Amino acid sequence: MSAVQAQQKICSEWNPVNKNDYKGIWVYVEYVNGVIKDGSLQLIGKARELASKIGTDVTAIMIGSNLGDVVKEPIYYGADRVIYVDHPALAKYIPHVYANVIVQLANKYKPEIILFAATKRGRELAPYVANSLRTGITADCTELDVDPKTRDLDQVRPTYGGNILAHIRTPTRRPQLASVRPNVFPTPPRDTSRKGEIIAETVDSLPNINGQGLIEVRSVTKGEELPPVEKADIVVVAGRGVGSADGVKLLTELAKLLGGTIGGSKKVVDAGWLSADRQVGQTGKTIRPTLYIGVGVSGAIQHVFGMKESKIIVAINSDPNAPIFQYADYGVVGDYRDVVKELIELLKSKKI
């Protein structure tokens, strides 16, 4: 390109951007209540891949108070560098304060890409950061690529019900921001022999909280021993075809015998047979277990969106024409009650 490419007049609220000034890929590593989110670690793996394509490196960003050794974790998962801000005022998560810290860091270091895990908090933070940097953002990406020539991030997200994939770019602004659905990329192996640079940063000032901010945190005790759907290797998913809460109970028994967990389609959650955090699908959670067993699941595109990356897919359904069979490795046509009861018997007999 010619260096004097005619600059189009831009919004007076936007800063002028020279794309060449921006280098490196950042991953915001979400660390709340003593836990690093898997979704963030998964992004470090993906960021590595993108970075090697454009000859740059991966920096993890961490924010909090009394972070201690946890700042080394992103290195173990593949980051080249960690930049962290440790400040007593950051002990509590306050959306606009955390977002503001990331904005200040980005203004100082000028990364070309910033990735966020699309957790509930990530979806809350990322748009504020993007907007404050007067740049574009794409939500809930399921694939990322980078163009080695333009260094533009190709941000792929399912849209309009999930049957269309949109490739979104931010060709004239930097940094480029995206949030990425947890569990669409695998978590890289943790290697404690990896070394990297760790930088303690400070920020000039923090914005006013304007009140006390976070004043109470309450965990919902669920009284359930089964792991969440996004964490289990085997997930048995109930669809509307199970017909009742009792049907879900039967499937829960199967899930326990398999050492897995129970999930449900939107219909099952809407019917109140399972809690909303167990919903698999576009408006619920994306899962990629080694084994997915859909029982009475018809296979609506919105559901398939949340499970199609599973290693092995099993469908049990009485309707031989159910779309779910198109996505299945192994399908059983029949009354699920009979089939599941036989499976339970078989598994029990093996355990003895």
Partner 1 sequence: MGGLTIIVPVKAAVPNVTAVRLDPVTHNLVREGVPLMLNPYDRNALEFALRLKDKYGGKVITISMAPPSGKDFLESTIGMGADEAYLITDRAFAGADTLATSYTIAKSVQKLFPDFDLLVFGEETTDSTTAHMPAQVASWLNLPYVYYAVDAEVKLEDRLILVTRYLEDEGVYETYEYKMPIIVSVYKNSNPPRDVSLVRKVEAKINGLVKSIDNNALKLERECIGLRGSPTIVAKIEDAKPIERKKQIFKGDPKEAAKWLLDNLIKEGVVKP
Could you say which of 7, 210, 223, 321 contacts partner 1 (CB under 8 A)? 210
Q: How far is the CB of 265 from partner 1 (least distance, A)?
A: 16
Piece of 4-12, 51-59, 77-85, 242-250 that binds partner 1 (CB under 8 A): 4-12
Q: How far is the CB of 303 from partner 1 (least distance, A)?
A: 13
Q: How far is the CB of 82 from partner 1 (least distance, A)?
A: 23
Could you say which of 21, 204, 216, 225 contacts partner 1 (CB under 8 A)? 216
Q: Rg of the Cα trace of the chain?
A: 23
Site for partner 1 in 159-178 (CB under 8 A): 159-173
Site for partner 1 in 229-268 (CB under 8 A): 233-234, 258-259
Q: How far is the CB of 152 from partner 1 (least distance, A)?
A: 8
Q: How far is the CB of 337 from partner 1 (least distance, A)?
A: 9
Task: CB nearer to partner 1: give 75 or 315.
Answer: 315
Task: CB nearer to partner 1: give 226 or 347.
Answer: 347
Task: CB nearer to partner 1: give 51 or 99.
Answer: 99
Task: CB nearer to partner 1: give 143 or 201.
Answer: 143
Q: How far is the CB of 34 from partner 1 (least distance, A)?
A: 12
Q: Is 53 helix (H, G, I), strand (E, B) or coil?
A: helix
Query: What residue has token string 């759907």?
Result: 229
Site for partner 1 in 80-119 (CB under 8 A): 94-96, 99, 119
Give the whole-angstrom CA distance, residue 189 versus residue 176. 27
β-pairing verdict for 234-238 and 291-295: parallel
Site for partner 1 in 30-59 (CB under 8 A): 32-33
Distance of CA 350 to the CA centre of its chain: 37
Site for partner 1 in 262-301 (CB under 8 A): 276-277, 282-283, 285, 290-291, 301
Cα–Cα distances in angstroms (integers) from residue 174 to residues 16, 58, 98, 108, 201, in the given order: 10, 16, 20, 13, 22
Q: How far is the CB of 185 from partner 1 (least distance, A)?
A: 15
Buried b (16+ CB within 10 A) or exposed e, 265-293: bbbbbebebbeeebbbbbebbbbbbebbb
What values do phi and psi take at 345, rounded to 5?
A: -60, -50
Tell me which residue of 230, 231, 201 sits closest to 60, measured CA to CA.
201
Tell me which residue of 280, 282, 269, 183 sits closest to 237, measured CA to CA.
280
Tell me which residue of 156, 152, 181, 180 sits closest to 168, measured CA to CA.
156
Question: Is 134 one of the binding residues for partner 1 (CB under 8 A)?
Answer: yes
Buried b (16+ CB within 10 A) or exposed e, 149-178: eebbbbbbbbeeebeeeeebebeebbbbbb
Piece of 73-81, 190-198, 240-248, 309-317 that binds partner 1 (CB under 8 A): 309-317
Q: How far is the CB of 104 from partner 1 (least distance, A)?
A: 14
Question: Is 217 one of the binding residues for partner 1 (CB under 8 A)?
Answer: yes
The encoded tokens of residue 323 equal 């779309």
| C-beta separation of 116 from 28 below 8 A | yes
Residues touching partner 1, count (CB under 8 A):
104
Q: How far is the CB of 101 from partner 1 (least distance, A)?
A: 14
Query: What residue has token string 């890289």?
Result: 188
Cβ neighbours of residue 213 under 8 Å, at least 6 residues apart? 92, 94, 97
Could you say which of 136, 241, 281, 296 contacts partner 1 (CB under 8 A)? 136
Piece of 18-26, 44-52, 206-214, 235-243 that binds partner 1 (CB under 8 A): 206-214
For residue 345, which amino acid is it?
A: E
